[in-house]
């Protein structure tokens, strides 16, 4: 699937910048019972091949237009938004082609503000309409492209849902005795217990939408807390640590993750402010 070069607005990254010329084979997951040692990391791509790619489910599939935050560190590179990565992970895991449009948040173009008046990402064009909010986007993708299925059973959809907010609370905290660290540890311990009984993923052996939402958030947690707090997930939470290693090792994650430097820069205002 070779793209045709077309003129695009400023700050828009052409699909041709990211298309891989050779076919990318799907990676497979370990399906062993839940244990810390059962999280076999999927094969990583060589470092030189870790650029974002577009994979088509069929040659006739039109690419979806996706607006995401651009890196503030490296030109023509994905930025640090975990919600944008969630959408890109969904597209990658469903093998859908897409045109990636990187938005410079320091100088948002007029065409972007017309489709996203609040200036927020991600935004995806579905059925000729621009759709915002990663929750709505991923649900819409699941309904429109149900194969392969990624929906999480309703009774499992809220697993780990409080980790991100407690992480932010701890990251912003200036008082070591205000209980924010313990609040995060409580949520991570609960998630560890869940994975021990139900893993390796939230939906057992099947990767699901909840994993694709949690993964980017845990990636931000790992990088930001290490940099600003010299803190990491305790080794005693071995199922959470193994889960993170497994998710971060996925080919789709490696292709869509932000640079650590962008993650650090992105959280700096919250820490300093």
Positions marked active-site = 81
What secondary structure, in 3-state letters, does 102-156 show?
A: EECCCCCCHHHHHHCCCCCCCEEEECCEEEECHHHHHHHHHHHCCCCCCCCCHHH
| Alpha carbon distance 90, 203 (integer Å) | 16
Question: What letter does residue 15 receive in the DSSP assignment?
Answer: G
**Signed CA dihedral, 78, 26, 92, 203: sign only:** negative
**Cβ contact 96:64 at 8 Å:** yes
Q: Coil, helix or strand for 43?
A: coil
Closest Cα partner for 185 from 223, 245, 225?
225
Structure tokens given for 110: 């007029």
Sequence-separated (6 or more) residues with CB below 8 Å from residue 248: 215, 219, 254, 257
CB 138 within 8 A of CB 87: yes
């Amino acid at each position: 699937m070779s793209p045709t070069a077309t003129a695009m607005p400023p700050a828009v990254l052409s699909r041709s910048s990211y298309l891989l010329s050779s076919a990318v084979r799907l990676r497979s997951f370990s399906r062993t019972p839940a244990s810390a040692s059962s999280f076999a990391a999927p094969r990583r791509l060589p470092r030189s091949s870790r650029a974002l790619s577009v994979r088509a489910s069929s040659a006739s599939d039109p690419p979806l237009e996706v607006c995401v935050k651009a890196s503030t560190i490296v030109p023509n590179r994905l930025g640090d938004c975990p919600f944008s990565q969630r959408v890109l992970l969904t597209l990658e895991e469903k093998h859908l082609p897409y045109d990636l449009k990187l938005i410079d948040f320091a100088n948002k173009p007029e065409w972007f503000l017309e489709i996203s008046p609040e200036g927020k990402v991600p935004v995806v064009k579905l059925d000729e309409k621009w759709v915002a909010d990663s929750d709505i986007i991923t649900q819409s993708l699941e309904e429109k492209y149900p194969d392969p299925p990624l929906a999480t059973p309703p009774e499992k959809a809220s697993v780990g849902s409080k980790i991100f907010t407690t992480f932010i609370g701890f990251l912003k905290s200036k008082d070591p005795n205000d209980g924010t660290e313990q609040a995060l540890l409580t949520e991570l311990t609960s998630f560890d217990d869940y994975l021990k009984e139900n893993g390796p993923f939230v939906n057992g052996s099947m990767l699901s939408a909840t994993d694709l939402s949690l993964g980017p958030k845990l990636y931000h947690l790992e990088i930001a807390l290490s940099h600003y707090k010299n803190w990491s997930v305790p080794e005693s939470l071995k199922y959470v640590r193994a889960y993170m290693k497994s998710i971060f090792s996925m080919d789709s994650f490696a292709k869509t993750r932000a640079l650590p430097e962008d993650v650090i820069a992105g959280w700096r205002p919250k820490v300093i402010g």
